[in-house]
Structure formats: structure tokens, C-alpha cells
Structure 1
């Protein structure tokens, strides 16, 4: 009975830690969205000032253009009084001012459309921040419930079988919430960004007809930004729970994950040797998260140009090796609160495995993982 009590307490503690980590992830997403909101807000305010200046300059050019046309009309009616040079000068001046006026109005139109687009994006990001904050509030309630009420749950359960079933229900509910959140974010932010991208391409084609080079350059930058945002949202969705892991297994999921990174990092190579039968769920989830974390560290922190991933599954154990040619790091100077490495160590400890990291500054990093398979 004491063993079952310990196991249930361990499951509950892991559940609490998972919820805490989820809250931290949502907070990070909220903060990044808030930073993007402030950046776009600043850009929008600057753009509004530019629009005001361009309008003022355009109005002045319109006044100057009318004055130049009146002078040209006077000169034209009295050509016998003015010399040929004066007539030509009046014509050239009127033409020059009129051309500048047209260019200025085109620039005003482009800036107005850019301003309108930023305002739409600002509203969308504001809604995203609101949803993230609402989700954080719900997670806080769940966390409080787990932290307070679950401390006494062992006293309410009568035998070991009930405790085991209850723990499994908790884990299943947790995974269901992750799948639900994944679908919600996929149908929300990802679709929104895709629609914005489509709109920018329509505007792009419109600008092409007007040969407005500066506007074209700006729209290409906008598309690049939107694609990056869309890629990041989809990465977040994938991080929550890769559905392929349940349906296809570990190796196909790793392949699919690497395929999603091709645009960001095309030089990732995956080799594997595995038996045909599936591993137990806890092994597949742990191994995928460990490999995923290692690849992300190589991309984000090590700035690696090449990443090699090798996976071997035999009867009694699984080994994985992730090697990169990045900048490496000094492990003796690594901060204690390196949450990525802490999370990897925790997963390894849960399964009684081994984690070894070989790295030097300027010489890349090699991560070796070995996990025994229990019967």
C-alpha cells in the first residue's frame, strides 16, 4: 500500500510540474506577443507621423502645382511678351511639380495601406494576448486545485487499484487538454496569419501594376515576417502534442518533425535502426521530447550548420545520439537554471536512463542518450 501511495504522489507531483511548465510556456507566448504588439504599435505611431508629413507635403505640392499651371497659362497666352526660354522654364517647372505631386500621392497611398495593415495586425495580436491571459488564469485555477486539494487525495482513496486508475485518468485528462489546445491554436492564430499572408499577396499584385518599387520591397518584408510568425505558431502547436506520435509511432514522428524544420534548417540528417513493434507510450513520448529539445538547442543556441540524429532501438535498450557542429559551450559555466537541460535530465531519470553531453567552445556538441526498456 505504501508503494502505491508513493507512486500516486509521484504522479500528482509530476502533474503539478507539468501544469507549471505549461503556465510558463503560455506566459512566454503572451510576453512575446506583447513585445510584438509594442513593436508594431511603435512602428504604427511612426508610420502615422510619416503619413501626416507626406499629406502636408502633398498638399503643398498641390498648391505649388496649381500656381505653376496658372503661371504657365499666363505665359502661354502672352507668348509674344515672354522669351522662348521663359516659356520653356515655366513649362518645365509645371511639369516637374506635377510629377512630384503624383509621386507624393502614390507614396501617401502606400503608407496609408501599410498603416491599415498594421492596425489590423495590432488588433489581432491584442486578441491573442487576451486569450493567452485568459488561459493563464484558467491554468492558475487548475494549479491551485492540484496543489491544495490533491494533497489530501490519498486519504480519500481506499485501495491501490483505485489510486492507480485515478492516476491514469489524470494523465489522460492532461493529454486531452493538450490536444484540445493544439486544435484551438491551429484553428485560430495559424488561420489568421495565413489569411493575412493571402491579403499581402493580393496587395503585392496590385502594387506590381503600379510599378511602385518601394512598396513592393516593403510588402516582401511583410510576407517574410508573416511566414516567420506562421511557422512559429505551427511550431508551438506541434510542441503541444504531435498527433503523429499516437498514430504512427516514434520514427515517423521524428521524420515529420524534421520535415517541418526544413525551411528553417535544411541540413538535419536522421538515421535509425529500429524493431518493427511500437514502444510503450511513455518511452515514445520521452524519446521524442529529448530529441526535439536537442535539435532545438542546436538550432537556437549552438547555431549549428549541420545536425546529425541517430536512433537505435534494440531488445533491451534505446540509444539516441544528436551531434551538431555549432559553437558549443563551457559546461562548467552553464547556469543552474538551464531549464532545457533540467527537463531532459528529469525525463532520463524517470526512465532510469543515462544522459551524457560532450561539448567544448567552438567544437560543437554531442548528446548521448541511453534508456533501458523494461519488460
Structure 2
């Protein structure tokens, strides 16, 4: 058994090292891509300016060419009135202007082709950066699971069969979390950013046509899209780990979390008793995740109409209670099949605490968590 534990720890360490290296490689790819984007953006701006200049020069040359052809036609029709030198000069001027115009048109064509090529490349790079950032986020989630949860597997489980089952469930949870994050990133910020890119190109064309009012309206619409995208990104970050937990502490974070659940459930009461002092980070993180899991179980699985959350902080322990009036269940039937409850038990046991789940069908559920403060 000890040898198996060591082998599992070695495998976990190797997995973590491999994932970290993958994350570093993705980061380097993303950084190199951004540098190339910056370089191409500068070149694109210069090309756009050059195209405008060349177009102006071509227009001038076209007028000169038209005048030269007109003069040459006049000379050709009345060659008896002009000297040989004047006729030669008329032919030379027409040929010279036409040659310059041809060269300038070729230059304009090359500049336009290069401009279009860079714009296409920038769109491709935008997609690459988006995929790299999304992949980096997913890798961070995997690392979080490996570091925070997976390392305790060998200490928590009692035999090889339990370790295998628990490991498989963790992997399933990781894959589900990655799928959820992928869907949220694709359907939210990624779609919005693509829309913003397209709208910004439309604004550029509108502005070039001189329709300033329309361009300003489009810019105001883009600002709203950016604000919505920022909200989605912050929500995803909050789901991964609420920053308020580090900045404000457990109680304000729980209050904020409950307030954000208004759309899902608007009848959650919160009661807090005890000292306002901060707890050690390991207690705050564990208690927040336990309460979060209990509330989500009541909302998603129990169909509860009312949820009560109570926290009491004493000098030597923290007691958290989550009560709902939902469908309820038989804990004996569900314990071996519920990964959520298993994870809650593991978190509590790591902190040497106690978890009691009281429930019966159609009679609601009561979760009591007691964590000693050492």
C-alpha cells in the first residue's frame, strides 16, 4: 500500500510538472503572437497611409495623363502648325506621364495586396491568441485541481480500489469544468471580442466615408459590448476563485456570492454571529467552497424554495449550517454515488472537522459543518 501511495504521488508530481511546462509553452506562444500582432499593426497603419498617398498621386497623374493625351491629339491633328521639336516634346511628355502612372498603379496594387494580407494575418493571430488564452485558463484549472485536491488522494483514501474510483471522478470533474469554461469563454467573451473586431472595422470604413455621427454611434455600441465582455470575464474569474475572499474575507464574500445568485434563487437568508476577525486562508477557502457546494446542491438538485445559511465564529471553532426545504434524499443511498458530498467530506476531514448531513425525501436537507480553529 505504501509503495502504491508513493507511485501515485510520483505520478501526480510528474503530471503537475508536465502541465506547468505546457502552460509556460502556451504563454510563450501567446506572447510571441502578441509581439507579431504589434509589429503587423504598425506596418498596417503605415501601409494605409501609403495607400492614401499613392491614390492621391495617381489621381494627379491621371489628370496630367489626360491633359498630355489631349495635347498630343491636338498636335497630331495640326502637325503642320507645330515644329518637329514641339511634336517630339508632346509625344515624350505623354509617354513619360503614362509610364509614371503605370508604375504608380502597380505600386498601389502591391500596397493594397500587402495590406489585405496583413489584415488577414491579424485576424488569424487574433484567433490564435484567443485559443491560447483559453487554453492557458483551462490548464490553470487543471493545475488548481492537481495542487489543491489531487495531492491529498493517497492520504485520504484507504485502498487502491477507492483511490482509482476517486481519481476517475476527479478527472471527470476536471473535464466537466474544462467543458464548462470552454463553453462560457466561447459563448461569452470570445464571441463578443470577435463581434467587437468586426464592428471596429465597420467604424473605420464609416469614418473614412465621413459619416462621423454614425461612427460615434457604433463606438458607443462597442463600449457596451466591451463592458458586457468585461462582466463575463470577471464572472468566470470569480467562479474560479473569488478575489473578494483574499481582499475582504469569508463573510463579505459569502454575502456577495448570495447576492449574485438572485437570478437563480431570490430567497436565501444569511445569518452571522461572532467576531469580525479574519480566519486563516485555508479555513476561509474551505468554508466558502463547502457553503457554495451546499447552496448549489439545494438550488440545482433539491428544488428548494427557501435556503437558510448560518455561520457562527467562536474562538476555537467555526460552525456553518445550510438548511433548505427541498426534495431531500436518503444520505445512505446517495453517499457512495455523490461526488459532491464525497468532496465535502474530504475537505472537512483535511481540516480535522466534522460534517453531518441530515435529510429525508420530501423533508429538506440540513448540512452542519464544524471546523476547529487550531
Shorter-chain TM range is 0.3 to 0.5
Query: What TM-score does the superposition give when structure 2 sets the normalisation length?
Result: 0.42
Query: What TM-score does the superposition give when structure 1 sets the normalisation length?
Result: 0.42
